[in-house]
């Protein structure tokens, strides 16, 4: 299946098998009064934001606007509203699904709740979603957003300040910390930088400004971008970093805290990364994300406070080995410091790896068992397998 075609495992496009391109099914309908949004499965995040903005509401999605809503939602959906309102899946009210048997079914808390559970993090394993209905949340027309920029000599003190700041923040504030060599279009030079982006999800911008000022005072940035922009503009502000059609390989880990070992690894890898073509983000979690009970969705590790995403976006095949090597070595180094679980949507393809073991690393054993039973019920022949695959549970004498 292909919606936005942004799958970092590269399987939105395949060499064999059938690809369903849903990108022309991209309508978005907003019910401003009910604060619900119906989204056809081929829409991008930009199409969702452009439709919701006039009603001063937003659906929590991701941070790069040409990503497809379908793949993003089915894996989880981490972005600028995660602490305020949870993941994209935490705001999913229902989905229309065409099953491999050819039936069209609704999945919601009231109808086919087992399928609804599986869709909220289990990926594209259970059928073709044609439409999502989301809960939307109020967002000011010019929300409080901005970015602090730190050159390498400030990283140690700024990271210590960031760890302290994020240990006690209101839910309205979500921040993402990024290490990257900025592309020329950003006009920030060619040295590796640490950026702290933030978004405050409330009309009470005075309180938000006070919260942001605590970090500004503790770790004064070298440069600061804080011009007010619309929500849709903010949502697309990172697009330039990721040219479409880039090559890629991604890894991720969750953490309970930014302890000195994690901070040392971030600084060392950030210093080594002197090229354009890889980057890594720390997403600050907790808040509404952390209040969703662990078993309510397949998404792993709700207790995690931070999620590290190490990503690639290089252009030339000749760089594959070096760029993947950097990401893989960094991922292997920090994994033992992590608190478990992997985020499906931030995972690259591992053709050599055992798919069952990979799925266990994402979900853990008990959630994977539940997903495998659902897969057996909805796709027993594993027709939908060009994805982060959940293998159908083997029927037992008792159950079949």
Ligand X SMILES: Cc1cc2nc3c(=O)[nH]c(=O)nc-3n(C[C@H](O)[C@H](O)[C@H](O)COP(=O)(O)OP(=O)(O)OC[C@H]3O[C@@H](n4cnc5c(N)ncnc54)[C@H](O)[C@@H]3O)c2cc1C
Q: Is 389 in the site for ligand X (CB under 6 A)?
A: no
Maximum separation of any 2 CA atoms in the chain, in Å? 66
Residue with the two structure tokens 């266990």: 360
Per rule CB under 6 A, is residue 72 in the interface with ligand X?
A: yes
Q: What is the DSSP letter of 386?
A: S
**Residue 118 is a binding residue for ligand X (CB under 6 A):** no
| CA 19 to mean position of chain CA atoms | 23
Tokens 């978005």: give the residue: 28
68 binds ligand X (CB under 6 A): yes
Smallest distance, ligand X to C-beta of residue 123, A: 6
Size of the site for ligand X (CB under 6 A): 33
Query: For ligand X, which is the closer residue by CB, 71 or 300?
Result: 71
Size of the chain in residues: 400
User: Should residue 70 be labelled a site residue for ligand X when binding is judged by CB under 6 A?
Assistant: yes
Contact characters 227-256, ligand X, x per CB under 6 A:
---------------x--------------
- Minimum CB–partner distance for residue 65 and ligand X (Å): 9
Q: Among residues 68 and 208, whose Cβ is nearest to ligand X?
A: 68
Name the segment binding ligand X (CB under 6 A); options: 73-81, 106-114, 191-199, 268-276: 73-81
Asked if 175 interacts with ligand X (CB under 6 A), we say: no
The partner residues of 311 in beta bridges, in order of sequence, read 279
Of positions 58, 63, 390, 393, contacts ligand X by CB under 6 A: 63
Nearest one of 379, 323, 328, 384 to 352, comparing CA atoms: 328
Give the pair of three-digit tokens for residue 39.
Answer: 């989204």
Segment contacting ligand X (CB under 6 A): 77-85, 155-163, 183-191, 360-368? 77-85
One character per residue 300-339, x = contact with ligand X (rule: CB under 6 A): ----------------------------------------
Three-class SS state of 129: strand
Contact 81, 91 (CB under 8 A): no
- Strands (E) across the chain are located at 28-31, 36-40, 57-58, 92-98, 104-108, 128-135, 137-138, 144-151, 173-180, 193-200, 223-225, 251-255, 278-284, 306-312
Asked whether position 4 contacts ligand X by CB under 6 A, the answer is yes
Binding-site string for ligand X from residue 88 to residue 107, where x marks contact by CB under 6 A and - marks none: --------------------
Q: Which is nearer to ligand X, 131 or 171 (CB)?
A: 131
Q: How far is the CB of 210 from ligand X (least distance, A)?
A: 27
What does the angle CA 243 – CA 332 – CA 372 come to, to the nearest 5 degrees? 85
Q: Which of 71, 86, 121, 341 binds ligand X (CB under 6 A)?
A: 71
Could you say whether residue 39 binds ligand X (CB under 6 A)?
A: no
- Here the tokens at position 207 are 């309180």
> What is the rounded CA–CA span in Å between residue 199 and residue 173?
6
Identify the residue among 202, 345, 348, 370 touching ligand X (CB under 6 A).
345
Any contact of residue 2 with ligand X (CB under 6 A)? Answer: yes
> Binding segment for ligand X among 30-38, 72-80, 285-293, 366-374 (CB under 6 A)?
72-80
Question: Is residue 59 within 8 Å of 134, Cβ to Cβ?
Answer: yes
Site membership for ligand X, residue 76 (CB under 6 A): yes
Residues forming beta bridges with residue 106, ordered by sequence position = 96
Q: Residue 312 and residue 322: Cα distance in Å, rounded? A: 11
User: What tokens were used for 85?
Assistant: 């309102």
Rounded-to-integer distance, Cα 159 and Cα 257, Å = 12
The residues of the shown chain that bind ligand X, judged by CB under 6 A, are 1-8, 11-12, 22, 41, 62-64, 67-68, 70-72, 74-79, 123-124, 128-129, 242, 345, 387
């Amino acid at each position: 299946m292909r919606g936005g075609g942004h799958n970092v495992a590269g399987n939105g496009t395949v060499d064999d098998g059938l690809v369903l391109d849903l990108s022309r099914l991209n309508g978005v309908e907003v019910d401003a009064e009910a604060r619900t949004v119906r989204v056809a499965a081929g829409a991008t995040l930009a199409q969702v934001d452009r439709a919701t903005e006039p009603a001063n509401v937003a659906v929590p999605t991701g941070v790069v606007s040409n990503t497809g809503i379908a793949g993003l939602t089915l894996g989880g959906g981490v972005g600028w509203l995660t602490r305020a309102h949870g993941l994209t899946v935490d705001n999913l009210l229902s989905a229309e699904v065409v099953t491999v048997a050819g039936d069209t079914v609704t999945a919601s808390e009231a109808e086919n709740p087992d399928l609804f559970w599986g869709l909220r993090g289990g990926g594209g394993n259970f059928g073709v979603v044609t439409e999502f209905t989301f809960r939307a949340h109020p967002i000011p027309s010019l929300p409080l957003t901005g970015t602090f920029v730190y050159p390498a000599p400030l990283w140690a003190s700024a990271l210590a300040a960031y760890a302290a700041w994020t240990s006690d923040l209101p839910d309205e504030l979500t921040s993402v910390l990024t290490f990257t060599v900025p592309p020329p279009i950003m006009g920030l030079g060619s040295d590796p930088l640490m950026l702290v982006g933030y978004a405050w999800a409330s009309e009470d911008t005075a309180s938000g400004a006070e919260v942001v000022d605590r970090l500004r005072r503790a770790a004064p940035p070298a440069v600061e971008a804080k011009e007010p922009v619309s929500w849709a503009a903010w949502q697309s502000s990172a697009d330039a970093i990721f040219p479409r059609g880039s090559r890629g390989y991604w890894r991720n880990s969750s953490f309970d805290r930014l302890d000195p070992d994690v901070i040392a690894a971030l600084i060392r890898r950030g210093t080594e990364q002197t090229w354009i073509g890889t980057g890594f983000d720390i997403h600050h979690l907790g808040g509404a994300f952390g209040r969703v009970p662990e078993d309510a969705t397949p998404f792993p590790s709700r207790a995690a406070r931070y999620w590290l995403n190490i990503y690639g976006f290089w252009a030339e095949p000749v760089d594959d080995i070096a760029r993947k090597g950097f990401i893989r070595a960094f991922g292997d180094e920090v994994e033992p410091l992590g608190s478990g679980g992997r985020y499906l949507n931030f995972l690259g393809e591992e053709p050599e790896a055992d798919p069952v073991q990979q799925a266990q690393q994402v979900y853990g054993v008990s959630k994977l068992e539940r997903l495998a039973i659902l897969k057996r019920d909805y796709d027993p022949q594993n027709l939908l397998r060009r994805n982060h695959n959940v293998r159908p549970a083997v029927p037992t004498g008792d159950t079949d």
